[in-house]
Amino acid sequence: MSVAQAVAQPVAVSRRLAIRFRPSRVVLNVVLILVALFWMVPTISLLVISFRPEGLYGVSGWWTVFTEPSQLTLQNYQSLLGTGLGTGGILDSLITTALITVPATALVTVIASLAAYSLVFGKWRGRTAVFLVIVGLLVVPVQVALIPVAQLYHAFGNLTGFNPYGTLPGVVIFHVAFGLPFGIFLMRNFYTGIPKDLLEAGRIDGAGEWTLFRRVVLPLGVPAAASLAIFQFIWVWNDLLVGLVFLGGNAHHTLTIFLYSQTRTLAASYWVIATGAMISIIVPLAIFFAFQRYFVRGVLAGAVK
Amino acid sequence: MARVALEELTKRYAGGNLAVDRLNLDIADGEFVCLVGPSGCGKTTALRMIAGLEDITSGRVRIGEKVVNLLPPRDRDIALVFQSYALYPHMSVYDNMAFGLQLRKTPKPQIEKAVKEAARILDLERFLDRKPGQLSGGQRQRVALGRAIVREPAAFLMDEPLSNLDAKLRVQTRAEIARLHQRLEATMIYVTHDQVEAMTMADRIAVINEGLLQQVGTPKELYEQPHNRFVAGFIGSPSMNFVETASHRNGKAELQGEGVNLVLDDAQAARLRDRGLEAVVVGFRPEHLKVGEPGGPGLRVSARIDVVEFLGNDELIHAVSGGRDTVAIVEADARLAVGDTVSLWAEPRHVYLFDPQSEVSLGGA
Amino acid sequence: MAVSALGRRLGLRRAVATPSPDLGTPAVGVGQMADVGRPPGGGWRSHLGSLAFLAPAAIWLLVIVAYPLIGTIRNSFYDNSSTQFVGLGNYKTIFSTADILVSFRNNVIWVVVFPFLVTFLGLVFAVLTERVRWATAFKTIIFMPIAFSATASALVWNSIMDVDPHVGMVNATLQTINDWFSPPGLYPVNTGAGQTLSELASTGLGAGANGTLVSKAPVSPGQSVQLGMLGISPATLQLVGAQKAVIPASASGAVTGLVWRDFSPTNPTARGRVFADEDGIAGLRVTLLSSSGNSVGSTTTDAHGDFTFSGVSPGAYRVQLDSSNFSSGFTGIYWLSGTQNIDPTSGLNQTAQALLSIPLVDLSMIIAYLWIWAGFAMVIIGAGLAALNREVLEAARIDGANEWQTFRRVTMPMLAPVLVVVFVTMVINVLKIFDIILNMAPSVSQANTLATSLYNLGFASSPPANGLASAIAVILFVLVVPVIYINLRRIR
C-alpha cells in the first residue's frame, strides 16, 4: 500500500464515524452554548446598565442597547467616581475594602503557613488532635462569634482606650480568625506532600526550624500559599456581614456595604447600584482571570468550607 | 473462541503521529500471541483498536470472520484485562465478575454458576463478598482475570496485566495465565514490554517497534533467527552484544572491530560476498561466549574485565575493549577478577551478521 | 544558654541572607552551633521552636473563635443585655415568634431545595462539558460569578427579576411570549389606575361574563343597535384610526350596529345620542350571541364603529364586546414578592399561614444563588470525574455497558463521595445564607433566614437583642455539628 493510500483511507473511515456521531454532538453544543449565553446575561446586563444613562432605566430595557448602541455613555462612571476621595463616595469604599482585604489576606497566609509547618514537621505531641480541632472549626459559622467578639472589642476598649469595634483593625482581626482554619487546613494538606527526608537532611546540615521554614518549606509551598491568598482575598473582598457588623457606625464603608446601603436609601437609584457593582467586581474578576488555576485549586481544597 | 486477524491496521493520531503502521497479524483460534516492544511502540494502541476503545484510522480488524471496525466494544465479544485491573471499586468481587453478564441479561442462576466457577479456578471463592479495596495486588489481578473468564469471550486481550505486581508474584501469575490458556484453549492477545513474559508464555510473539511490525514467530524462532538487529537486541536477556566490523585488509575472510576478531566460516563468507559487503554489524549473545580461544573459524573478543556480577551458578561479566562494553555469562568457577584481560570466543553458528545500513540479518546462525 | 541562642540566631541570619543554590548552605550556621554543642537537628528547643510557629494561629483561634463560641452559648441563656440569666427563655421566644419561625421555614426551604439543585446542575454541566472542545471556555463562564460578591450578584438579579417588563428581563421575556399568544386589546382597562370594565359601559351595555360587555336589550335580525362607551381617550382612538361615528342602516336578515364614544365635547352631559363630534370605536371584536348564550358569529367594527352580522336566522340575540378588547396583556410577575400565597380567608392562624406560604422571592433568590454556585459544583465534580480511572470506564464498555449504563452503574457510584462533599458544602453554605437575602429582598421580612434574623436582632435593632441573636447562633452551630463529625471521620 502506498503512502497516499494509507493517508486517504483514514479520512474515509473517520468521515463515516463523524456522520454517525454528528446529531447528538450538534445538539449538545447548541444546548451548552445556550446555557453559556444564559449564564452571561446577568453580567452583560450589569455592564450595559452601568453604561446607559440613568434616565433610561425603567423606560426601556437594557437590551435595547443592541439596536441603539448610541445609548452608551460614561456619565455614570464620571458622576460616581467624580465625587473623589474623602466624600464617602465609592472611591473611599474601594480603599476601605483594600485596606481590609490586603492585611487580612497577608496575615492569614503567613500565620496559616507557620501553623501548618508546626503541625506537619513539628515534633511535639498532640499535633493530630490540634489538627482535628482545626478541621472541626472549618465549618463553624461566623455568626457564633459576632456578638461576643463585639463585646470583647468594647471590653478591650474600656481597658486600653483603643476599641477595635468600628475600626478597620477590628474587621481585619475577625476575618483573619475565620480565615485561619481553612488556611491551615489547605497548607497542611500541601505540606504533608513534602518529603520529610528533605527536612531531615536540612536538620542534619544544622538548619534550625526557622531556616527550614524560610528556605525549604515556604518556597516549596508557594503554589498552595498562592491558592490560599487568592481564595482568601476574594472571600474577604466580597464579604458583607463582617464589615456590616464590625464597622458599626464607621463612616468608612466597604464596597459591599456601599452597595447594600444604596438599596436602603429611599431614592434608590439603580444606576448607582449597577455602576458601583461593576466597580466592586473589577478587582476580584481581574484576580480570578489572572490566577484562575490557583483559585480553582483553592476551591477544590476548600470544598469543606 | 475465534481467530483474530489484523489487516493493514493503522492508527494515525490527530497530530499526524503514526502510532501503528500497517500492522498485519493473523492469530489462530486458541493461539496465545504476545505483542511485545518498548514502551510507546504502538502495541497497546493496536490492542485498544482490537478492543474497540480506539478508532481505527485505516485497515481492518476481524474477529471470527466478521470485520468489527465500526462495532462498539460490547458487540465485539472480547474481554480485556487492564494494566491497572480497572476493577469497579464500589462493587464486590462477585459483582465485578458478574457485571458483564448482568448487562447481557444472563439469567441469575447462570451468572452465579459462571462466577463461582471462575472464582474456583482462580482461588477467589473466599473473597467474593469483598470490595477490591480490601484485596492485595495479586488478588485484584485474579479478579480482573475472572471478570474476563466469566464472559467466555471470543478472545482475551491483556494489556500488561503483570506490570503492577512485584517480581515474585509476577512469576507466579505468569504461570497461572499460561495454565489458564491451556485450560480454556482461548485466543489470547497479550501486550507486554517484558520480553521474558513474552518468551515464557506465548505461542507466537509479534515484535513491534515505532509502530512497525518487526517479526512474528515462535519464541525459539525469534531467539535463534532474529530478522533484524532490533529483534536480536530486544529478545534475550541480557541482550545481544553488537560490534561494527570491517573486512581485514589482507582480503582473508576475516572481520575486525573494536577488540573483536571474527574468522568467517564458508557460509558466512559466501553471504558477505553475495551482498558485496565490506562492513557488517556482528552480534553475539552473552550466554554464547566462552573463555578461551577459538580453534578454527569463530569470534574472538579480547577485553579487560570491568565488573563481575555473581549470579550463583554463573557470573555476568562486563568487559571493556576500547570504548566498547561486552557482556558475557561465564561459569562461576572461571575465577575471573576485575582488571584481568580475558579472551572470549563464540562458535560461528552463534554469530549473527547484520547489514549496517538496513540492520537486516544476513541470515544463517 | 544565652550565647547559644545568640549564635543560633546569627547563624540563621547568615544562612537566610546568603543566597545559595541548595540546602547545604546552612552549614554556615553549623559551625557556630557545633561550637556551642548543639546536636544537629535535635534538642528540646527545636521542638519548642516549631511549637512557637503554632502560637499566633492558636491565640487567634482561641480568642476570636473558641472563646466567643462559649460566650455565645452563655449569652443565649441570658437576657438581651447579657446580664440576667433566663434559662431556656430565649429559645422559647424563638420558637414562638412568627417572624423567627418564618426564618426557620426559609432556611428549611433553602437547605432542602438548593443543595440538591446545585449538585444536580453541577453534575450535568461537568458531564456534558467532558464532551465538547470548548470546555474550558464554558467552565470559565459558568464559574465566573463565584468571583462576584453575593451582594453584587443579588443586585443584578434584583433588576433581572424586576416586576416592570421595561426593567426586568424575565418579565420582558414572559411578556413577549404572552403577547405572542394573546396580544393585549386595543382598549385595555387601566386597572392600575383603579378603572373597572363596567365603567366603560355607557349606553345599552352592561357587564357580561368573563370580562366582556353585552348589550342590555335583545336584538332581532333587521334591527340596528347603538352601543355607547366611555373612558376611552381620544388619543387612543386617534392611534387606532377611528373616524366619525355613523349610524348604520338596518338590513333584513342582518343585525347591524354601532359602537361609539358616547361623549361629545360640545354636549358633555348628553348620553345615548350620536353627535357629529363623536367618533366610532374602531377595531373592536364583536360577537353575536343567541338567546341561549352561544356564539353565532364574530366580526370587527370598522373605522366608523359599525358592524354587521348578515344571514342571521330570526330570533332574539345579544351583542357582546369580547374580553380580548379590554385585556391589558401581561404586566409582569412580582418575582420579589414576599406575600404571594397568603390567603387571609383560610381558617389557619397567622403563624401557620406564614409558615405555609412560600414566597416567590425565595424561588427567585434560589435561581440567583444557583447562578453563583453552579460553577463551584461543576468544577469540583469535574475534578472528581477527571480523577476517575479511565480504565474502569473502559472496562465497563468492554463488559457491554452503554453510555447510560456506564454512567449510572459505574461513574455515579464512583463519583458519589465527591457529590456528597458538594452537597454538604452547599448545605453549610445555605444554612448561613445572608448577603443575597439582605440585598435581593431588601424589605421583605418573609424572605428572612436565621442569619438575617440574627443580624437584625443582634445588630440592626436598638437596643440589640443579644440573647435572642445568640440563641439563633447556637442553633446554627448545632446544625453544623453533624457536618463537623462527618469531616472529622473523613479526615481520619
CA gap C301, C296 in Å, rounded: 16
Residue burial A136-148, b: 16+ Cβ < 10 Å; e: rest: bbbbbbbbbbbbb
Amino acid B233: pLDDT? 92
Write out residues 43-72 of B within 8 Å (CB-CB) of C.
51-53, 72
Amino acid C359: pLDDT? 75
Domains of chain A with CATH codes = 2-73 (no CATH), 90-300 (1.10.3720.10)
The predicted model gives C387-408 an average pLDDT of 90
Select the residue of B8, B22, B55 nearest A17 (Cβ to Cβ): B55
The predicted model gives B183-197 an average pLDDT of 91
C43 interface with A at CB cutoff 8 Å: no
The predicted model gives C474-480 an average pLDDT of 93
Cα C246 to its chain centre, rounded Å, is 53
Amino acid C235: pLDDT? 82
Using a 10 angstrom Cβ sphere, with 0-12 exposed, 13-18 middle and 19 or more buried, the burial of residue C94 is: buried
Amino acid C119: pLDDT? 96
Nearest to C230 by CA among C268, C276, C179: C268
Amino acid A1: pLDDT? 36
Q: Are strands C224-229 and C213-215 parallel, antiparallel or unpaired?
A: unpaired
Residue burial B265-280, b: 16+ Cβ < 10 Å; e: rest: beebbebbeeeebeeb
A20: which chain B residues are within 8 Å (Cβ-Cβ)?
70
Task: Kindly give, in sequence order, each residue whose CB lies less than 8 Å from that of residue C21, ignoring residues fewer than 6 positions away.
Answer: none
CA gap C55, A125 in Å, rounded: 15
pLDDT at C12 over 60: no
pLDDT at C369 over 90: yes
What share of chain C in percent tops pLDDT 90? 30
Asked if residues A117 and A213 have their Cβ atoms less than 8 Å apart, the reply is: yes
Residue C346 pLDDT class (50, 70, 90 cuts): low
Please tell me the number of Cα atoms within 13 Å of A168 on its side-chain side: 15
**Chain B residue closest in CA terms to C401:** B103
The predicted model gives C368-389 an average pLDDT of 92
Starting at the earlier edge strand, list the strands of the sheet with C201-203.
Answer: C201-203, C224-229, C254-261, C306-310
Q: Which residue has the higher pLDDT, A52 or C49?
A: A52
pLDDT at A301 over 80: no
pLDDT at B258 over 60: yes
CA gap A161, C159 in Å, rounded: 45
Amino acid B251: pLDDT? 59
Tens digit of each residue's pLDDT (9 = 90 or more) over B134-161: 999 889 999 999 999 898 898 999 999 9
CA gap B285, C102 in Å, rounded: 87
Cα A38 to its chain centre, rounded Å, is 23
Amino acid C13: pLDDT? 33
**Chain B residue closest in CA terms to C394:** B53
Tens digit of each residue's pLDDT (9 = 90 or more) over A15-47: 344 334 567 888 999 999 999 999 999 999 999
Q: Among A16-20, B147-151, B242-246, C227-231, which is the least confidently predicted range?
A: A16-20
Contacts of range A87-96, beta carbons closer than 8 Å, 24 or more positions apart: A88/A251, A88/A253, A90/A255, A90/A258, A90/A276, A90/A279, A92/A252, A92/A253, A93/A252, A93/A253, A93/A254, A93/A255, A93/A257, A93/A258, A93/A280, A94/A255, A94/A279, A94/A280, A96/A168, A96/A252, A96/A253, A96/A254, A96/A255
Amino acid A283: pLDDT? 93
**Count of beta carbons in the 10 Å neighbourhood of residue C415:** 20
Dmax (CA) for chain C in angstroms is 131
Q: How far is the CA of C229 from the CAs of C202, C226, C274, in angstroms?
A: 5, 10, 11
A1: which chain B residues are within 8 Å (Cβ-Cβ)?
8, 22
Asked if residues B47 and B124 have their Cβ atoms less than 8 Å apart, the reply is: no
Starting at the earlier edge strand, list the strands of the sheet with B204-209.
Answer: B78-81, B155-159, B187-192, B32-36, B204-209, B212-217
Q: Which residue has the higher pLDDT, B87 or A268?
A: B87
DSSP state of B91: S
Q: Which residue has the higher pLDDT, B71 or B248?
A: B71
Tens digit of each residue's pLDDT (9 = 90 or more) over C305-344: 888 888 888 888 888 888 888 877 777 777 777 654 445 5
Top residue of A43, A138, A139 to mutate, by most chain C CBs within 10 Å, is A139
Asked if residues A146 and A77 have their Cβ atoms less than 8 Å apart, the reply is: no
pLDDT at C288 over 70: yes
Write out residues 241-300 of A within 8 Å (CB-CB) of C.
241, 244-245, 255-256, 259-260, 263-264, 270, 273-274, 277, 280-281, 284-285, 287-288, 292, 295-296, 299-300
Inspect the interface and report whether the beta carbons of C389 and B99 lie closer than 8 Å.
no
Select the residue of A32, A173, A198 nearest C64 (Cβ to Cβ): A173
Q: Which residue has the higher pLDDT, A267 or B214?
A: B214
Amino acid C30: pLDDT? 34
Select the residue of A121, A124, A145 nearest C68 (Cβ to Cβ): A145
Residue C351 pLDDT class (50, 70, 90 cuts): low
Nearest to B70 by CA among B58, B52, B57: B52
pLDDT at A249 over 90: no
Nearest to C223 by CA among C247, C202, C187: C247
Q: Rounded to the nearest 5°, which phi and psi values hold at C133?
A: -75, -30
pLDDT at C18 over 60: no
**Chain B residue closest in CA terms to A9:** B58
Inspect the interface and report whether the beta carbons of C396 and B88 lie closer than 8 Å.
yes
Amino acid A12: pLDDT? 39
Tens digit of each residue's pLDDT (9 = 90 or more) over C189-204: 777 677 778 788 888 8
Residue C491 pLDDT class (50, 70, 90 cuts): confident
Q: Which residue has the higher pLDDT, A268 or B214?
A: B214
Nearest to C422 by CA among B21, B108, B95, A299: A299
**DSSP reduced 3-state for C208:** coil
CA gap B58, A15 in Å, rounded: 12
CA distance B70 to chain A (A): 8
**How is residue C70 written as a grid cell?**
462559649
Q: Which residue has the higher pLDDT, C219 or B34?
A: B34
Inspect the interface and report whether the beta carbons of A13 and B22 lie closer than 8 Å.
no
A204 interface with B at CB cutoff 8 Å: no
**How is residue A212 written as a grid cell?**
527550614
Nearest to B157 by CA among C141, C399, C110, C333: C399
Asked if residues B142 and B97 have their Cβ atoms less than 8 Å apart, the reply is: no
CA distance C351 to chain A (A): 26
CA angle A100, C463, C79 (to 5 degrees): 105
Q: How far is the CA of C25 from the CAs of A204, A213, C40, C386, in angstroms?
A: 12, 14, 14, 41
CA gap C413, B88 in Å, rounded: 9
The predicted model gives B223-241 an average pLDDT of 92
C422 interface with A at CB cutoff 8 Å: yes
Peptide bond before residue B238 is cis, with ω within 30 degrees of 0: yes
Asked if residues A138 and A182 have their Cβ atoms less than 8 Å apart, the reply is: yes
CA gap B98, B151 in Å, rounded: 9
Nearest to C119 by CA among B25, B260, A303: A303
Asked if residues C310 and C254 have their Cβ atoms less than 8 Å apart, the reply is: yes
Tens digit of each residue's pLDDT (9 = 90 or more) over C321-330: 888 888 777 7
Amino acid C353: pLDDT? 63
Mean model confidence pLDDT for chain C: 81
Q: Rounded to the nearest 5°, which phi and psi values hold at A265?
A: -75, 150
**How is residue A205 written as a grid cell?**
546540615
Mean model confidence pLDDT for chain A: 85
Residue B277 pLDDT class (50, 70, 90 cuts): confident
Top residue of C69, C81, C141, C156 to mutate, by most chain A CBs within 10 Å, is C156
Task: Kindly give, in sequence order, each residue whose CB lies less than 8 Å from that of residue A68, ignoring residues fewer than 6 positions away.
Answer: none
The predicted model gives C94-113 an average pLDDT of 90
CA gap B170, A133 in Å, rounded: 45
Amino acid C444: pLDDT? 67
pLDDT at A284 over 70: yes
Q: Are strands B241-247 and B187-192 parallel, antiparallel or unpaired?
A: unpaired
Top residue of A147, A198, A294 to mutate, by most chain C CBs within 10 Å, is A147
Tens digit of each residue's pLDDT (9 = 90 or more) over A159-188: 998 999 989 999 999 999 999 999 999 999
Inspect the interface and report whether the beta carbons of A143 and C432 lie closer than 8 Å.
yes
Inspect the interface and report whether the beta carbons of B8 and A17 lie closer than 8 Å.
no
Amino acid A13: pLDDT? 41
What share of chain B in percent tops pLDDT 70? 98
Inspect the interface and report whether the beta carbons of C169 and A45 lie closer than 8 Å.
yes
Write out residues 242-301 of C within 8 Å (CB-CB) of A.
none
pLDDT at A305 over 60: no
Which ipTM value was assigned to this complex? Answer: 0.87
The predicted model gives A6-17 an average pLDDT of 39
The predicted model gives B244-271 an average pLDDT of 80
Beta-strand runs (E) in C152-261: 201-203, 205-207, 213-215, 224-229, 254-261
Asked if residues C376 and C153 have their Cβ atoms less than 8 Å apart, the reply is: no
Amino acid C322: pLDDT? 85
Tens digit of each residue's pLDDT (9 = 90 or more) over A193-221: 888 888 888 888 877 888 888 888 989 99
Asked if residues C234 and C248 have their Cβ atoms less than 8 Å apart, the reply is: no
Inspect the interface and report whether the beta carbons of C400 and B78 lie closer than 8 Å.
no
B55: which chain A residues are within 8 Å (Cβ-Cβ)?
13-14, 17
